[in-house]
Amino acid sequence: MGSMISSSMSSLPSLREFITLTPKTYAILVNIFQYFPVVTIAQWLLSYHPAGKTSLRTSPLNLPGRLAWCVMEIIAPLNLLYILHTSLSGDFSLLPWQNQLVGLLYVVHYVNRAVISPWFVAPSMSPIHVFVMVSAMGFNWVNSSCLAGWVLGYGLDVGGFSGAVEGNGGVNGGTGFGLIPCVGLGLFVVGMVGNVYSERALFRLRREEGDKRAAKKTDNNDTNDKYHKVYVIPPKQGVFHSILYPHYVFEWIEWFGFALAGTAIFPAGSSSVNPIAATATAAATVPRIRLAPWLVPAAVVSEKLRVPLPLPALVFAVNAVANMLPHARWGRKWYVEKFGEEAVGSRGVAVPWCPWL
């Protein structure tokens, strides 16, 4: 038994291979990460989320909101760029321009999310529990590693699906930036603009409410923290007319657009497509992965359209919805408890006029 365990352990990739990423560790991470929605079942059952509106006020494990948010989000672009840099010896021009563009989209999103939003736009950020920060760091590290391998062009042996490596004659028209990637790029832009607009609208409402409360005070106390724990329910107008979390919905649109744009990325398999990835993949045996049931329809569609399956990006989009939707549902309950059912009305979380969703 001991020798069997020792043999199994010795066959596992080293930690360094996960950090710098190899085709084998890439496949392992994607294979595991695609089942993240199973983990989120707990979020539907438990309201525990010590961050933001529902942060724990007196926990000794609380961290300053802006700092914790920046740390847990900045790992995403930094890890992606680190893996690309080490794999390409710093020469990003070795990647096809489509791959560079898709990687850039991811970095742009997280520069806004990790730096601009918390440090320059948000009026305040409530404390974040160390558990939330570490969990988010883990999610972002695994996700960015999967996306980095994808951008590098590492191939995956998806059991039962050929994957349409070249895609000649497909909707994308060979290896160029065809119709589907263009639609995806458009959706990404619309999603990001809508996400930023919705989030900024919430920040503006909080700032206005904080200013009103500070103006009513008759003492001369310091008002530098006048926005702390100041929350308002958005009025039933504009993007908040029928849902409470339009910024979530726009982010989901953004990431599904990102996945569609990623159909321009062709995995290894032809030196004419991506010689760097083809060489790397040929040097290692890539484990076969079996798609999670909820991803199979996308694989079927990709085969019919003869475009590559943007699996890591699709996994990210699905995982983002699975992670954020239950949190938003608990957020709606918080709104009802804080401001009353009348103020919330029949607005849904993410689906118009559907209080349950």
pLDDT in tens, the chain (357 residues): 444 334 444 568 899 999 999 999 999 999 999 999 999 999 999 888 888 887 767 788 999 999 999 999 999 999 999 999 999 999 999 999 999 999 999 999 999 999 999 999 999 999 999 999 999 999 999 999 999 999 999 988 887 775 544 343 345 544 567 899 999 999 999 999 999 999 999 999 999 999 998 888 755 555 557 888 888 999 999 999 999 999 999 999 999 999 999 999 876 544 444 545 555 544 455 667 899 999 999 999 999 988 889 999 999 999 999 999 999 999 999 999 999 999 999 999 999 988 887
Tally the domains of the chain. Answer: 1
Kindly report the number of other CB atoms within 10 A of residue 46's CB atom.
10
Q: For the whole model, what pTM was predicted? A: 0.89
Q: Are 46 and 327 in contact (CB under 8 A)?
A: no
Domain assignment of residue 354, yes or no? no
Residue 289's SS3 state is strand
Domain assignment of residue 8, yes or no? no
Domain assignment of residue 194, yes or no? yes
Domain assignment of residue 351, yes or no? no
What is the Cα–Cα distance from 278 to 239, expressed in whole angstroms?
45
Domain assignment of residue 356, yes or no? no
Q: Which range marks the domain in which residue 134 is found? A: 16-164+177-215+226-344
Domain assignment of residue 172, yes or no? no
Q: Which residues neighbour 357 within 8 Å (Cβ) at sequence distance 6 or greater?
A: 325, 329, 348, 349, 350, 351
Domain assignment of residue 47, yes or no? yes
What is the Cα–Cα distance from 25 to 46, expressed in whole angstroms?
32
Domain assignment of residue 72, yes or no? yes
What is the Cα–Cα distance from 282 to 260, expressed in whole angstroms?
27
What is the Cα–Cα distance from 188 to 181, expressed in whole angstroms?
10
How would you write 228-277 as a 3-class SS string?
Answer: CCCCCCCCCCHHHCCECCHHHHHHHHHHHHHHHHHHHCCCCCCCCCCHHH
Q: How far is CA 186 from CA 121, 167, 180, 191, in A?
A: 25, 21, 10, 8
Q: Are 244 and 331 in contact (CB under 8 A)?
A: yes
